[in-house]
Amino acid sequence: MDLSGKVAVVTGAGRGLGRAYAEALAAAGAAVVVNDVNAEAAAEVAGAIRASGGRAAVVAGAVGGSELADRLVAAAEEFGRLDVLVTNAGILRDRVLWKMSDEDFDAVVDVHLRGTFTCARAAAVRMREQGTGGRLILISSPAGQRGNFGQTNYAAAKAGIVAMARTWAMELARADITVNAVVPVAATEMTRTIPAFAPILEEAERTGTPFPEWLRKDEGLGTVEDVAALIVYLASDASAGVTGQAIGIGGDRLALWSHPSEKAVAFADGGWTADTIAASWEKGVGAEPETYGIPAPRVPEA
């Protein structure tokens, strides 16, 4: 993939997946604006990109408000234009519902949902002015598609991000700006906190062995570079016809998430009553209820 001449912004690019996205986009030829709330980490990534012959600028600061979003676009303009935005910055504040504070809720919604909104809005304004299309790549999560224990704030924000991708895909189609949500899974500081995976990831790291095949295929969990391949594809001209999609990637797995739709429908002439719903539910539209929540990882017996 050749991204030379293109300019990309990646938020939360100081480590983990964001760093891999920034480095892969730069390796493919794009100039990259590296953002992170951790200024040192962002500077290090930009330095590494430049050391490998790429072009990079740093915008340190916390994604959330419009001021930072405007700074990201201004930094891209220093390279002459803006073609690609990857909204990746994120945090976790996991608690069960009855223990989740207002602060836990607001902090996660602010970075993920509001941050995606403010950055995408600033980028869309710039891309529409440019008139040569563009790419908005929004980072979601399996938690947003399914719900996840302890992740009220995160699941809500990540589900909202997919809803925004589908909305913006409609709104920006005429401007040739594609908008897709990516549903990644990869070994990072974030996934290391999942108890079922922690010992396996530590073992692989300690011994320098690759992740086991069941982890890469069944759980779709691999390296950050595995996910970066999809970001480069979505940033490229090759993905011009792809918009409004939620695309999963991790390890050896690439997947298209379905759009929610009515799975079972029944009609009652003149409308339903609580009694007629109760009488028909189990054999009617409720006959095959949907699952909810991310299934627990199936770790094979040693």
Smallest distance, Å, CB 142 to ligand NAD? 6
Active-site choice (140, 158, 236, 239): 158
What DSSP state is assigned to residue 81?
-
Question: Looking at beta carbons only, is 15 or 135 nearer to ligand NAD?
Answer: 15
Smallest distance, Å, CB 220 to ligand NAD? 9
Smallest distance, Å, CB 289 to ligand NAD? 26
Which secondary-structure segment (H or E) carries 84? strand 84-87
Active-site choice (6, 21, 141, 236): 141
Smallest distance, Å, CB 286 to ligand NAD? 31
Question: Looking at beta carbons only, is 14 or 54 nearer to ligand NAD?
Answer: 14
Active-site choice (6, 21, 140, 154): 154
Q: Which residues contact 171 (CB under 8 A, 6 or more apart)?
A: none
Question: Looking at beta carbons only, is 100 or 277 nearer to ligand NAD?
Answer: 100
Position with the least CB separation from ligand NAD: 16
Can you tell me the distance from the alpha carbon of 16 to that of 242, in angstroms, rounded to the nearest whole number? 26
**Known catalytic residue: 292?**
no
**Contact in structure between 9 and 86 (CB atoms under 8 Å):** yes
Contacts with ligand NAD, residue ranges (CB under 6 A): 11-12, 14-18, 35-38, 41, 62-64, 88-91, 111, 139, 141, 184-186, 188-191
For residue 34 the two structure tokens come to: 């590296």
Q: Which residues contact 27 (CB under 8 A, 6 or more apart)?
A: 52, 54
Can you tell me the distance from the alpha carbon of 132 to that of 116, in angstroms, rounded to the nearest whole number? 22
Other beta carbons within 10 angstroms of residue 189's beta carbon come to: 9
Q: Strand 31-36 relative to strand 7-10: parallel, antiparallel, unpaired?
A: parallel
- Coil, strand or helix at 177: strand
Question: Looking at beta carbons only, is 130 or 191 nearer to ligand NAD?
Answer: 191
Q: Which residues are catalytic?
A: 141, 154, 158
